[in-house]
Structure 1
Amino acid sequence: MTDSLIESLQAKHLKDLKPYESARRLFSGGQDWLNANESPFVGEYSLNSNKLNRYPDCQPKDVLQAYAAYAGVAPEQVLVSRGADEGIELLIRAFCDAGQDSILICPPTYGMYAISAETFNIGVEKAPLQADFSLDLDAMATFAGKVKVVFICSPNNPTGTQVAPEQIEQALALFQDSALVAVDEAYIEFAKDQGWAQQLAKYPNLVVLRTLSKAFGLAGIRCGFTLASPGVIQVLLKAIAPYPLAEPVAQIAAQALSPPGLTWMQDKVSTLNSLRQTLQNQLLALGDFIQLGDCQANFILLRTAYKQALMDDLVAQGILIRDQSKQLGLENCLRISIGTEEQNQRLIAAMQRFFKEKTQ
């Protein structure tokens, strides 16, 4: 097939769309992966191969029941998917008409909301966060009745900030008759606030997105959850693939959500929060960094005048962090995921050497 034929057949709305720059697309190798907000820890899991010759359940009951118990909701309020990214996609596909409807995002924020919408020819409206990274509710109010889904990331990636409960309540009220409000809680286990899962009955237009990728250390299995009213879940089931969760993934997820698995996760979250505080103190002591946002997730956001030179120097040493400078209001900003104590110390040593050479 010739390039000209491919170009002529390609959907028009995709021609100018650039793929999401995931951590693995940007860099194919490295010693210390501190650029994707993954856990540096991994648990031990077993696999029963007896059912691998059969198609898996669309919604494995043991996984649904275990996550419902963990989140404090009913099983009929839970949908399991291939990561929270598929949950984002399903909300857009199931509730927005291509070429007609739009979503609302609040940048700087997670890039997949916009990418998913654009992939399905859905418009993307923006109400940028205020200078302190709180919601701009006045700006959001101008889109009431004009969008179908509102995405709010809390704790927000990449700012590490949680949205104040009263602001989310106001957002839910603004769109109570016109749009779903999806609160993305991928990092909720690291935060002080326990999130919005148990408020679903109070707010019919509330949706909560969760994942096993971060605190549970299972980014590799791609398992996420959408929590919503049973009515919303039934609509999403119309759009989901017949077999979204592979049998091995379901088995590992169920083990991760068992009492021993939850104990392991909580222990690792405590460890990472402690490592984050230590790393934060060490980074700020280097002198050139300004911290932005908050630390309610497993990463730190910093600004430095040496952004590009520092990135290049670290990459050359196999230490990978994430450039956030393309995000609105985050010029010269770097996001650093929390690694093991050893990884964090290699990072600090490399930065100390870099800044020492710059000042000589």
Structure 2
Amino acid sequence: MSITKLARAQVQALTPYQSARRIGGQGHIWLNANEAADSGEYRLDCSRLNRYPECQPPQVINAYAAYAGVTPEQVLVSRGGDEGIELLIRTFCEPGLDNILLCTPTYGMYAISAETNGVGIIDVPLNPRRQPDFDGIIEQLDRVKLVFLCSPNNPTGDLVDKAGLVRLLDAANNRALVVVDEAYIEFCPEFTQADLLADYPQLVLIRTLSKAFGLAGIRCGFTLASPEVIGLLQKVIAPYPIPEPVAQIAAQALSDSGLTTMRARVDEINALKTRLAEQLGQHPQVAEVFAPNGNYLLVRFTAGAALFARMARAGIILRDFGSKPGLSDCIRITIGNSAEMDAVLQVLQQEQ
């Protein structure tokens, strides 16, 4: 008997999430994972490494609550935003019975986490304006426990319409939770939905230090929600989710000087993004530049696969979304440093 036959049926049938690192590639300029071009410098105190860490380090919780404008009771820290997504599914969805709802094209981990946990998926695709179909979502609320929205949306960069979100939240009261993934919100902070948390206990936000803070390597994310939701998630989360070095680095990143560094990085990335978007928009091989709200640009080329291959031959690794519905010939370009953006443009200028 194959050992594989011992695994759960859902796991046997599962296709792993194709993360940037799993896809891999050969190159020297990595612009496929929406990582920052730098991380900054941090100090570590090794005197407590012999002790188990606190489940929810107060220095991290309090600092993030102050940064996000919420109370500490509304914050859960986890191993990246991905763990927050999975915790919500494990906490609120019964395997084999419940469903989540998502709006493709969007971040792939919502579906992977649901499939891994034996939870069904209802897809209400984005409308032609790349907004959630709020009427379609509301029609499905009695069939789902969680609605996942991404704002800015990965990979398209679009922001969720606030009026539509409020209408959905009103409809979801006592029926479902609405989860807004704000992994990229630092690049357009004026569009956060955090101000709605006080009035809508059915709203949950996902945040991360991976993008604007330049700390993808430490895997540190946050869930913002009502104290009731946070209390339920704390029943499910592992006893020691945040290693001591991670907590130390996160607390430093959320200090006044750390926030200043983050905001300077955001300003630089946004300036490079604006310049790249303008140059791409004038290029004959570019059919469309999508919404520029994250630390990336999704670009529809006249021949996406060929352009992706040309970049790879030049050692520039991008992310190809051409196989996703509605995203034919689309390539996502992470905004790196100035030299990396110049390299992308240089390859684009070359003869095909």
Which of structure 1's runs of 4+ aligned residues deviate more than 3 A? Answer: none
1:188 aligns with 2:181: no
1:291 aligns with 2:299: no
Cα deviations across residues 111-139 of structure 1 (Å, max 9, x unaligned)? 00000000000000011101111111121
Q: Equivalent of 2:299, from 278, 285, 302?
A: 302
Corresponding position of 1:76? 73
In structure 1, C-alpha distance between the alignment counterparts of 2:72 and 2:135, rounded to whole Å: 36
Alignment of 1:212-227 (within 5 A): 212-227=209-224
SS at 1:145's partner residue?
helix
In structure 2, C-alpha distance between the alignment counterparts of 1:265 and 1:194, rounded to whole Å: 18
SS at 2:298's partner residue?
strand
Corresponding position of 1:351? 348
How many residue pairs get aligned? The number is 352
Specify whether residues 343 and 268 from structure 1 end up closer, same or farther in structure 2 by C-alpha distance, changes over 3 A only.
same
Cα deviations across residues 185-207 of structure 1 (Å, max 9, x unaligned)? 00001115341223212001000
Structure 1 residue 310 displacement after superposition: 1.4
1:62 aligns with 2:55: no
1:11 aligns with 2:47: no
Structure 1 residue 293 displacement after superposition: 3.2
Alignment of 1:105-124 (within 5 A): 105-124=102-121
Structure 1 residue 174 displacement after superposition: 2.0
1:139 maps to a residue whose letter is G
SS at 1:193's partner residue?
helix
2:164 maps to a residue whose letter is Q
Alignment of 1:332-347 (within 5 A): 332-347=329-344
Q: Equivalent of 1:41, from 38, 42, 46?
A: 38
Corresponding position of 1:172? 169
1:198 aligns with 2:195: yes
Structure 1 residue 16 displacement after superposition: 1.9
Structure 1 residue 285 displacement after superposition: 2.2
In structure 2, C-alpha distance between the alignment counterparts of 1:68 and 1:60, rounded to whole Å: 12
In structure 2, C-alpha distance between the alignment counterparts of 1:49 and 1:73, rounded to whole Å: 31
In structure 2, C-alpha distance between the alignment counterparts of 1:328 and 1:308, rounded to whole Å: 15
In structure 1, C-alpha distance between the alignment counterparts of 2:257 and 2:275, rounded to whole Å: 27
Corresponding position of 1:136? 133
In structure 1, C-alpha distance between the alignment counterparts of 2:315 and 2:44, rounded to whole Å: 33
Cα deviations across residues 291-335 of structure 1 (Å, max 9, x unaligned)? 243111111111123211211121122101101122221111111
1:317 maps to a residue whose letter is A
Structure 1 residue 271 displacement after superposition: 0.6
In structure 2, C-alpha distance between the alignment counterparts of 1:258 and 1:28, rounded to whole Å: 36
What's the Cα RMSD here? 1.1
Corresponding position of 1:280? 277
In structure 2, C-alpha distance between the alignment counterparts of 1:159 and 1:48, rounded to whole Å: 40
Stretch deviating more after TM superposition (60-69 or 317-326) = 317-326
In structure 1, C-alpha distance between the alignment counterparts of 2:18 and 2:224, rounded to whole Å: 27
Specify whether residues 137 and 292 from structure 1 end up closer, same or farther in structure 2 by C-alpha distance, changes over 3 A only.
farther
In structure 2, C-alpha distance between the alignment counterparts of 1:231 and 1:91, rounded to whole Å: 13
Give structure 1 stretches of 5+ with no counterpart: none
Corresponding position of 1:95? 92
Stretch deviating more after TM superposition (310-319 or 217-226) = 310-319
In structure 2, C-alpha distance between the alignment counterparts of 1:123 and 1:338, rounded to whole Å: 34
SS at 2:180's partner residue?
strand
In structure 1, C-alpha distance between the alignment counterparts of 2:27 and 2:13, rounded to whole Å: 30
TM value normalised by structure 1: 0.96
- Alpha-carbon contact 1:81-1:87 (below 8 Å) kept: yes
2:224 maps to a residue whose letter is L
Give structure 2 stretches of 5+ with no counterpart: none
